[in-house]
Amino acid sequence: MEPESGPSASRNRSQLSWVNLSRNLLLAYQSLGVVYGDLSTSPLYVYTSTFKGKLQNHHDEETIFGAFSLIFWTLTLIPLLKYVFILLSADDNGEGGTFALYSLLCRHAKFNLLPSQQAADEELSSYKYGPSSQATASSPLKRFLEKHKRLRTVLLVVVLFGACMVIGDGVLTPAISVLASVSGLQNTEAKLTHGELVLIACIILVGLFALQHYGTQKVAFVFAPIVIIWLVSIFSIGLYNTIRWNPRIVCAISPHYIIKFFIKTGKEGWISLGGILLCITGTEAMFADLGHFTALSIRLAFTIVIYPCLVVQYMGQAAFLSKNLNSIHNSFYDSIPGAIFWPVFVIATLAAIVGSQAAITATFSIIKQCHALGCFPRVKIVHTSKHMFGQIYIPEINWILMILTLAVTIGFQDTTLIGNAYGLACMTVMFVTTFLMALVIIFVWQKSIVIATMFFLFFWLIEGVYLSAAFIKVHQGGWVPLVLSFFFMIIMYVWHYGTRRKYSYDLRNKVSLKWLIGLGPSLGIVRVPGIGLIYSELATGVPAIFSHFVTNLPAFHKVMIFVCVKSVPVPHVPPEERFLIGRVCPKPYRMYRCIVRYGYKDIQRDDGEFENHLIQSIAEFIQMEAVEQPQFSSSETSLHDGRMAVISTRNLESTSSLIVSEHEDVGVDNDIPSRPITLQQLKSTFDDDNTQVRRRRVRFQLPTDNGSNHAAREELLDLIQAKEAGVAYIMGHSYVKARKSSSFLKKLVIDIGYSFLRKNCRSPAVALNIPHISLIEVGMIYYV
């Protein structure tokens, strides 16, 4: 038997490896339409941007050879070495980007500034991703950073600044890509004017943004073949130009030509690096879009397809320019043989649209993650794909991006000026990524500080030279990403500051549990049939809105559930780990707590099942507690707003606690004795007038013998009867104001800035998909 098991196991392994390889090859194909559209369209404008301005007096073969050598080594060191071989290994549960690096740091060191974090969050399966952090517990650097809150704040500001630059990319990428692609029309017999080219570019841009609500997946899968055709085209044209015009360009791969370039051009050559760096714009997408693919698929696509095609294209374009110096102003289209000009022009325009699509999608994703960190106002998030998780569309941001992109296109009307802005934005994001990666090497990978320092200095030296050249061109368009980043940073700061002040107020004004327990199970008020869901940002304690409500209306539901919806520093929380259930007071009070946890890339879906999952989770908690009760009888206080349990809610199905049955919710529920006749009639009238809101209704029943004791059975029966009587959602309708003693700046931020954002963003009830007919809002003024 043993000799036969060897070949069999070998065949199984080979089949698995073949399945894995074929899956990665398919993902590599799909990544061409999502990740590489921007990077692959850079040849449209790199040489034109490089040789305009200060290098106008150095239009000769030696300078062009040096420029190509710079492009070759820039592509080799940053996209290939830094991103493909190093950065793609620093994923967070398969996710990439600056927020993934920040999330890893927050989990392996106490850098997190999110409120309402609990020890139970560290038990999430996705929280434990990566090496254990025990080995770095004694690190002096780690203790120093954890001790000083200001340093942690600086780290968050750096991350948000990088995020703002990504938003800037979302504005500038469509502008430069589309404008550069249509510039080829100047070479045709029509000889369109510059204004007509800008008009055509604007029409394409409006169409691009108008199609965003269809989602990236459809566009990406359709356009992946176009990117492949584009790559084959630029490879073939590059190879043709190299052979025909100047085969000696192959020698320029030697870094010796870089030295000769700077010796000859001096300061002008250094300033021209602002154009050279455009050859790596779009590189960040390889890491940011990692969650949709795999590291291996992205590596395969870049090393086998993207890298060779780009190198050969830049080589061929340089060979052409070395013999046609007058074509520098429109180098790409001039280098195309006349017979294939129109097919290449069409493909270039479509490839530019694909590149723009990727940048816009990345902007949506970044804003969603900023919101999860509590650093961006609530916006409408639409999930555009049932199959590819994370593909989202944000209408408000989409139209703002469109307006800004059109303003940049019409305002500059020149790819060189837009390129100055674009290069600064992209290089700043890379600069931030290098800094965060150095910290990940120390705290997550647990490598020596010497290794992290070598990585940090090597890439910061390269990127710092490029960034300094980009900053020289601030007055020539480079100010655009800085202004955009400043604008979005102000929005993020004001929202984050106001949210934190409001949370601190809730934390200081919690209702005393001793006072509640002293009132007895009735709480000194009338307990009416039904369930009251009290929403709050507090993960512990009773919020002030509860006391404010019962003070003005001394009645409340028989079952109370304090709900806290919060974000945790992981990309995704598995559905079976989403709910944390616990008690607030002793059993007779019928008061529970539910903490709903989401990752920074999770989408809160409006599937209408939240109530049912919540009731089922509490029933499971009651049943579990009844089984484990003897273990906790000696510690009664542990059941009072302390002990929490993770309850799985992946599927709505019958369990040992409850029997689940479904039926269509039509007409009046005459079999529910706890619901008054008047309320039944009102519900019937509402259903008749609003037939579109009818949905399936889930009925819970108690099993004849579920093995629980009498007290637990009685509690489950109360829960079911309360659910049948109806569920009400109670939220605070808050007005946040600065205290009279506050400084002028604080009053400006809170009373004007934060109030404006709150009034013009989506309300919490809409963001949490709370049914409007069941909502009760409690007005409160927060003096912070």
pLDDT, tens digit, for every residue of 276-334?
Answer: 999 998 898 888 888 778 888 999 999 999 999 999 999 999 999 999 888 888 889 99
Rg of the chain on CA atoms, in Å:
30
Does residue 84 come out as left (phi exceeding 0), alpha (psi in the -120 to 50 range) or beta?
Answer: alpha
How far, CA to CA in Å, does 545 sit from each of 412, 507, 553, 762?
52, 12, 12, 21
In terms of C-beta distances under 8 Å and separation of at least 24 residues, what long-range contacts does 190-199 make, across chains too?
194/413, 195/413, 198/409, 198/410, 198/413
pLDDT for the residue numbered 363: 87
DSSP 589: G
pLDDT for the residue numbered 652: 53
Distance of CA 541 to the CA centre of its chain: 31
Run of H or E residues at 435? helix 415-443
pLDDT for the residue numbered 691: 45
Question: Which residue carries 């009773």 as its tokens?
Answer: 542
The set of residues, in sequence order, having a beta carbon less than 8 Å from that of 67 and lying 6+ positions away, is 47, 50, 51, 261, 272, 276, 318
Model pLDDT for residues 611-656, shown as the tens digit of each residue: 888 888 888 888 888 777 654 443 344 445 557 788 766 555 656 5
pLDDT for the residue numbered 654: 54
The set of residues, in sequence order, having a beta carbon less than 8 Å from that of 392 and lying 6+ positions away, is 364, 365, 368, 381, 382, 383, 384, 603
CA dihedral sign, ordered 18, 22, 23, 28: positive
Sequence-ordered strand ranges (E) for 613-726:
644-647, 659-664, 696-701
pLDDT for the residue numbered 642: 59
pLDDT for the residue numbered 8: 57
Running along the chain, 784 residues long, what does each successive block of 10 average in pLDDT? 52 65 83 84 90 76 93 95 92 84 84 70 72 56 78 88 90 90 74 84 91 68 81 95 93 93 89 91 86 86 94 95 86 89 89 82 84 86 67 87 94 88 91 93 89 94 92 88 93 91 88 82 85 89 85 86 88 86 88 89 72 86 76 44 69 61 51 48 51 56 69 87 89 88 92 91 83 86 86
Q: Give the residues across from 528 on adjacent strands.
A: 557
pLDDT for the residue numbered 465: 93
User: How far apart (Å, rounded) are the C-alpha atoms in residues 682 and 686?
Assistant: 6
pLDDT for the residue numbered 705: 64
The pTM is what? Answer: 0.83
CA dihedral sign, ordered 176, 415, 468, 465: positive
Is the Cβ–Cβ distance between 590 and 622 less than 8 Å? no
pLDDT for the residue numbered 680: 52
In one letter, which amino acid is 503? Y
In one letter, which amino acid is 27? L
HSE-CB for 338 with a 13 A CA cutoff: 3
pLDDT for the residue numbered 286: 87
Q: And the tokens for 238?
A: 């590059």
